[in-house]
Structure 1
Amino acid sequence: MAQNARSTTGRKKPRAYDPVKTRAAVLAQFGLVREVVEGLSEEQLARPSGLGEWSVRELAAHLSMAVGSVVRSLGEPSPGAAEVGLLDWPFATEKHAGRIAEDTAGIAASGPISELYGKVAAGIAEALPGADDDRVVPTRVGAMRFADFLVTRTVELVVHSDDLARATGVEVPLDRQALAACTRLLADALAVKAPGASTEVRIPPFAVVQCIEGPRHTRGTPPNVVETDPLTWVRLATGRTQWADAIENAQVSASGERADLVGVLPILG
């Protein structure tokens, strides 16, 4: 999914996320998705998702798989040391796209979507309360600290909740804390992908990061500023919205000669 794999070790310290809020966000957003998915008709589930060849059913199955992976990771022996940090994750997923598609198709064909969601909901409700945030768990991209892996689930949930809403025309509410965590992680990933301090990217009320090589400002308003809302940022960072379209539709304001992010977007494909 990511455009460039890279290690963040020693380059940028990940921001802190409140594990209690992250757990609540994952549970809340999955609950919101479940309510919508269980209300979809067979005709709606058979529609194209807008994501490659996936149907809405396969998109819904992928969402359940993203959350179910939390339960599966906790059920396996700990690998010991973490191999993947939180800011490595956005750049470590692309090479697994084929396997993800295969697993998604298998899950989608395994039975009724409502039963699948019920099973995942029961599993995560049981697994999360006693989970150790510092436990290292196996994930598709490598061993990760559990609390970090849970933050990545907010990205999966928010991005694909939005995909689901656009594919079906049914509103999928976004939990505020889930949207905040997703926004912040993708903003920090931008700063890793395009390091520097010449451009300030503002995504109120959740994140402000500096990026892009060039002259560093020391006081006052920086000469290069990009500002957008959280959902537009998520769509830009994942390639759902193109930079030129967002500018044309006034979804992004950009001022300064280094305020063009077209060369560094998307973060996730």
Structure 2
Amino acid sequence: MSSDEHFTEAAHAYAALVGQIRPEQWDGPGLGVWDLRSLVGHAARSLITVDTYLDQPAAEVVLDSPVSYIAAIRVIGATAVGGPEAVAERGRQAGVALGPDPAATVQGLLERVLARVETAENPLIETIGGGMLLADYLPTRTFELVVHGHDIARALGLPPPELSEAVLAEVVTLAVGAAFREGAGAQLLLALTGREPLPSGFSVV
């Protein structure tokens, strides 16, 4: 499967979860400071940014892999004005932008973005971290959709979305690559082989 096929599968799984949210659940707990609407809105940005960046051609490749993008975003997040609260607020605003029928908004967004990706081939796009090929950017969006899909499922008390081994392998491989990029490769290896637990709060994003 290609990166766009993985993205398509993850996007459909996310939209299917959103379609199961009952009206009274939207104001309930989501993740951290976010209610469920804000969490879903934040995840929707994985579709919105693809739509936006397809209209922003880049002059050169600055980020040559999905791991490079994850690393760049960590730096941007650590130095951005407003810090974590600014990220939280963007999630809240994205939730508000879903409007009175969030499931319909997400479905419409999904159809628009997937149609564009299908015909876009592999352009060089300008992302928040710099220029990169669409094929390298899409795995970072698949990662976000899968991770936040699990968050949404937990918030709803539902089992995680059923995804192919290929999609899960891409997401896990990206997470491992990001850990190695941050110098945590040996630490992760020890945890995966049952030698030592990961420290509280460990994250690659």
- Assess same fold via TM > 0.5: yes
1:83 corresponds in structure 2 to 62
SS in 1 for 2:13: helix
2:147 corresponds in structure 1 to 159
Contact 1:161 1:174 in 2 (8 A): no
Q: Structure 2: give runs of 5+ residues left out of the alignment.
A: none
Identity of aligned residues (%): 21
Q: Structure 1: give runs of 5+ residues left out of the alignment.
A: 1-19, 202-224, 228-252
For this pair of structures, how many residues does the alignment match?
194
TM-score by length of 2: 0.82
| Higher share of residues assigned helix | 2
SS in 1 for 2:91: helix
2:45 corresponds in structure 1 to 65
Contact 1:33 1:172 in 2 (8 A): no
Q: Cα offset for 1:59?
A: 0.8
**1: distance between equivalents of 2:187 and 2:159?**
34
**1: distance between equivalents of 2:148 and 2:188?**
27
TM-score by length of 1: 0.64
Q: What per-residue deviation string (whole Å, max 9, x for no partner) do you get for residues 138-168 of structure 1?
A: 2222222211110101110111011111111
1:104 corresponds in structure 2 to 91
**2: distance between equivalents of 1:131 and 1:48?**
37
Q: Please tell me the root mean square deviation across aligned C-alpha atoms, in Å.
A: 2.5
**1: distance between equivalents of 2:108 and 2:6?**
19
1:254 corresponds in structure 2 to 194
Partner letter of residue 21 of structure 2? L
Contact 2:63 2:131 in 1 (8 A): yes
Greater C-alpha Rg: 1
Is 1:136 the equivalent of 2:124? Answer: yes
**2: distance between equivalents of 1:75 and 1:55?**
31
Q: Report which structure shows greater RCO (CA 8 Å, sep ≥6).
A: 2
